[in-house]
Chains A and B, each alone.
Chain A
């Protein structure tokens, strides 16, 4: 199956939050109790039941206020740190469409992915003892439909299509508006791309990692230490078997038995 990319053009977002509602509706996620915070951002953060969110960033510009609305959800990394960190096979899987999908049936709630994610996306539920995040609507895209958020977007801010086509479109649009494409790290590709207008610095936006990369600790643990521990476990089991074959089962001597009765 072809690889897909979701393109988010920040110059076109009006902050209508149709994507947020469509996501809840398709994935059958319950609503959250929210309050007033002084911002239009509502709820304030992603959660187990909120997989995508419009983040509102306010800037002062020529005495007025300027808003940047940003659709924030899983970036679907090409080499996902969460999948690398996940110890439970099948709980987090990178699919051949590019979508990184979680499966609640296999999740053991260890929160390794929450720590590993360079974009701080997976959210843990204490009640369910599992994590949840955006799946790029894997069940829709494998059936030839765009993700629920893209389908709902009225302004064309969210677009969805084959990888090469979307990358080309992103750079074309970035050139046209004089902006930049994010993330731009060629060593850490994602299946979600942003077109960010020039006047905005990435560091000014909330919840953005300007330089996403695979955490080194995960690589040390997964590629070096963990194989050694597994080797150690296997070695202990193997040596125990070897010992059994050479020495046979342990026999209790009569002398020891007597001693134990006294004690």
Chain B
């Protein structure tokens, strides 16, 4: 193929233009990161761990807690949390969490799964028997005390404020006097 001066120049220009594409191309895809809690409902709660009682917002979607963070409008902590409170998310979402009642019979060396009905019935039976046995109407001085001294209660750190409140009401109604909580020990 013969090539004139004119077409040589044209082709040279075209070559340089192609070469330029390699330099000029710079793609920057837009970042699309929808915030994961955007369509979640916000449920305020109180941190269960210590006596400060920081406010926490639990973000709930489809009945699942998908995030927890400090409540910026709460007068106690104004959004801040300690490292323990920051990790509250792990209480509802944890693969180590038990999903069924485990029972170890006295003297047994293994745990067995039981139903909630069985467990609740057994707990109620035990409480009733112990309370009937140890109930004191009057103390040694003859004063009315209506107390139960052979049952003690120990609250756990995973309980929140409202749960602890109702538990204490229930225990006082039974007449318990030995009521303790992990956070105080």
Contact = CB atoms under 8 A, between A and B. Distances in A.
A208 interface: no
Contacts of A24: 87
A106 B87 contact: no
Interface of A: 16-18, 20-22, 24-26, 89-90, 93, 95, 101, 103, 106, 138-140, 142-143, 145-146, 148, 151-155, 227, 230-235, 237-239, 241-242, 245-248
B185 interface: no
Nearest to B69: A151
A247 B11 CA distance: 13
A241 B11 CA distance: 9
A140 B80 CA distance: 16
A234 B22 contact: yes
Contacts of B77: 154
Nearest to A149: B86
B67 interface: yes
Range class of the B interface residue count: 35 or more
Nearest to B15: A238
Contacts of A139: 33-36
Per DSSP, chain A at the interface is helix
A245 B21 CA distance: 20
Given A18-B85, A148-B69, A234-B23, 13 more contacts: A21-B83, A21-B87, A89-B28, A93-B31, A151-B79, A152-B70, A231-B20, A231-B23, A234-B20, A234-B21, A238-B18, A238-B19, A246-B1
Contacts of B20: 231, 234
Contacts of B81: 18, 22, 152, 154
